[in-house]
Amino acid sequence: MTESTPKASDALRPSDERPGLAAQLEALGGLWWRWLAVDAALRALWLLRPDPFGQPLVGKVEWYLFHAIGFDAVQLLWLALPAALAVVVGRQAGRVQLGWRIGRAWSLAVGGLFCLLGLIDAEIMRFVGMHVSWSILRTYLNGAQVAELPHLLSRDAGGPYLPFALLTAIPGLLWWQWRTAPVPTVRWPRKALALLGVALAGWLLTSVLWQGAAREWKLTPPLTLLWQDLQRGARPDRPPEVVERAKKALRVGHAAGYPGSNATFAVPAAPLVHLSPWQRCQAIRDGQIADNPAAACARDRDGDGVPQARDCDDAQAAVHPGADEIPGDGIDQDCSGLDAAPYNVLVIALESHRALGVGHVTGGPSWSPRLDQLAAEGLAQRRAVTAGLPTIASFMAIHTGLPACAWCTVATDFATARLPALPLTLRQHGYYTRFFSAADPSWDNQAAWLRHWYHDVDYDRSREEDGPLFAHMASWLHTNLAGTAKNRPFFALVMTRTNHFPFARIAGVQNRGGDTWADGMRDTMHYADAEMGKLLDALRNEPWFDRTLVIVTGDHGHPLGEHGHLHLFDTVQVEATGVPLVVWGKHPKLGPLRGQIGSEPSSHLDIAPTVLDLLGIDLSGAWQGRSLLRGGKGQSWTAKDAMWAAERGSRRLFVDGSRHLDRAGWQVFDRTTDLREDKPLALTDADAELAADLMAVATWMYDLYGHDQILPKWWPTPQQ
């Protein structure tokens, strides 16, 4: 190589003519362009591959790829600024060579680190549905997890060992960058200015033109996440007095919801778990809890000759191992774990289907006549609410039966926590489970949970409106169910989309007049209701339909100007959180309750216990709702950031969580006489007690999720 030929490994040779600033910035721009190209390739490979379990990582790749590059271009521009600053300062100080070397070294090292962390973050997202963070690194960088890594990588449906191969390629790319890095020989900084332009375009796309909180959460670069994580620090646990208050509030509520129940909270490591006497004796026998009520476990309370340790219901003599089973009555007479010939379960969660538009709830005009018909033939609730906003919070509550926590999103913040789930419990009892979705399950991290809870997830972007979705569902259940379920009972849950803000009148939605959001919502709710009716009509002739339970609810409501609110996140009052809740079917336990509309507080947390009760499955677990069949007292807890609500007795209380127990941030309403929450009442001492309970529950739940203390380690939660 001649003396006049520039080498990439040279910084600036003393014999060179001093290059212009533009030439140096151009060379740095070339380095950062290379890192952006590597990053874009890694992003595309991440989004196009399935997750390790064979499910699509995202349903709409184009909704993510350009945003990913946009977010990363902005971050790379910020990371490039110190390199440019080093060059400028070096020139001003007369140390051109030193400034160039520092800028070049920074560009190589930080650019490589950016791509390396991006790859690690992407693979963690593929496997566990969480971003890289200091806490997740502390959790998983241990001997047991590292030893398990080769096994996990060998079974990766996105390419066995491909993550490891990509990871080892990054040092090679760094070496290539160092050997071939551009030298400052070009006059105009075209590449540097182009990087600035791409970053500006990325900022406009992601922050102005096409925002999306769920997409931003999924695509935020890991260096930003780690910095934010470091700034936040660890959230301190609740003081002991707050913990005790939360425990008492939930346990008193459980006792009120199950009159005469003798379930106990006997697992210190998982304080939400309640055990029936039989399950408690089983846990003691297996050494899972340190307790010794030997006399109680040996006692035969119902005189059937079987001690409580082996009797799944020691209060009924007709229930014990070996008893005659009566199929389909919702009672497990022989203690096999499930009623013989159990019912199928179909849960329908209608998008934004607010209670204030439903006739059997309000007693007024209805936007859901088919739902009103189901209510007249089944068991309905007048005061049902969601546990949190938006859809992902209700998705978690419906499945897990657990309250939301303040200032968190359980699905994304605690994706590795072991949580109960209704479909998972039914899988343990021999059910086939299937999830039908109108929206891309990857959008708000549903997919990370669904792959563990369900046998199959059914989503296609051509079926995002309710008509095609319900038509496909009816066709699949008619044609494919028998072969797929293989004579097992089934659990299916469907979440719809058409009645979503801004309530566009798609083809098939009848326009009943008016162009306001309220007019649009009225028409899209009518449409969703009618399409649901078509689904049920199409299924009525199926041989299994008479042995199927149908539960219909909304994921949440939506304000239409009530109390001055027009947006979902403005309030947790009834217009945003009130939902219908109807249980329908020809089940013997529902017979005496048909046509009733419950007047007790209720919520999505009540769905799982009600279903388990109808199927004859033991109600032990961390479920915090109540069976709606038992006639007990209800309560509800709702949390969305600093907006909290609790309902107990006739009153629903609202608390501004950012002001703690400052009464100026409270409002209370009598929901038995003021369903729409228009007439605030004077506060009482009982409201102060409820406010303290609400604060304790909303904040303590964060600790339980964060420390993975919902279920004990020995609780069965099989993974797919």
Return the HEC string of 471-504.
Answer: HHHHHHHHHCHHHHHCCCCEEEEEECCCCCCCCC
Return the HEC string of 221-233.
Answer: CHHHHHHHHHHHC
Tell me how far apart the alpha carbons of residues 83 and 90 are, in angstroms, rounded to a whole number.
11
pLDDT band of 1, cuts 50, 70, 90 = very low
Contact 503, 497 (CB under 8 A): no
Tell me how far apart the alpha carbons of residues 527 and 497 are, in angstroms, rounded to a whole number.
11
Tell me how far apart the alpha carbons of residues 538 and 481 are, in angstroms, rounded to a whole number.
14
Tell me how far apart the alpha carbons of residues 571 and 667 are, in angstroms, rounded to a whole number.
12
Tell me how far apart the alpha carbons of residues 235 and 178 are, in angstroms, rounded to a whole number.
41
The single-letter DSSP state of residue 502 is T
pLDDT in tens, 174-207: 888 888 888 887 777 888 888 899 999 999 988 8
**Residue appearing with tokens 């796309």:** 205
Tell me how far apart the alpha carbons of residues 694 and 704 are, in angstroms, rounded to a whole number.
15
Tell me how far apart the alpha carbons of residues 196 and 203 are, in angstroms, rounded to a whole number.
11
Tell me how far apart the alpha carbons of residues 639 and 621 are, in angstroms, rounded to a whole number.
22
pLDDT in tens, 72-130: 999 999 999 999 999 999 888 888 889 989 999 999 999 999 999 899 888 888 887 88
Gyration radius from the chain CA atoms? 29
pLDDT in tens, 490-509: 999 999 999 999 999 999 99
The highest-level CATH class for domain 344-706 is alpha beta
Instruction: Reply yes or no on whether the pLDDT at 668 is more than 50.
Output: yes
pLDDT in tens, 384-421: 999 999 999 999 999 999 999 999 999 988 988 999 99
Instruction: Reply yes or no on whether the pLDDT at 527 is more than 80.
Output: yes
State the pLDDT at residue 144.
54
State the pLDDT at residue 135.
65
State the pLDDT at residue 131.
84
- Say which residue, 660 or 318, is predicted with more confidence: 318
450-476: average pLDDT: 95
Instruction: Reply yes or no on whether the pLDDT at 10 is more than 50.
Output: no
Domain boundaries of the chain, sorted by first residue: 21-232, 265-339, 344-706
pLDDT in tens, 530-579: 999 999 999 999 999 999 999 999 999 999 999 999 899 899 999 999 99
Q: Which two tokens stand for residue 684?
A: 């009482």
Half-sphere exposure of 251 (CA within 13 A, CB side): 16
Most confident by average pLDDT, 19-28, 294-303, 422-431, 656-665? 422-431
Helix (H, G, I), strand (E, B) or coil at 583: strand
Instruction: Reply yes or no on whether the pLDDT at 6 is more than 70.
Output: no
Instruction: Reply yes or no on whether the pLDDT at 35 is more than 80.
Output: yes
**Residue appearing with tokens 């119902």:** 302
pLDDT in tens, 317-351: 999 999 999 999 999 999 999 999 999 999 999 99
Contact 117, 167 (CB under 8 A): no
For residue 259, the tally of other CB atoms under 10 A from its CB is 10
State the pLDDT at residue 4.
43
State the pLDDT at residue 268.
92
Length of the chain: 720
Q: What is the mean pLDDT of the chain?
A: 90
State the pLDDT at residue 480.
97
Assess whether the previous peptide bond of 390 is cis (omega < 30° from 0): yes
Q: Which two tokens stand for residue 24?
A: 């140096």
**Which amino acid belongs to residue 379?**
L
For residue 595, the tally of other CB atoms under 10 A from its CB is 11
**Residue appearing with tokens 């088919």:** 370
The mean-pLDDT minimum among 158-172, 243-257, 681-695 falls in 158-172
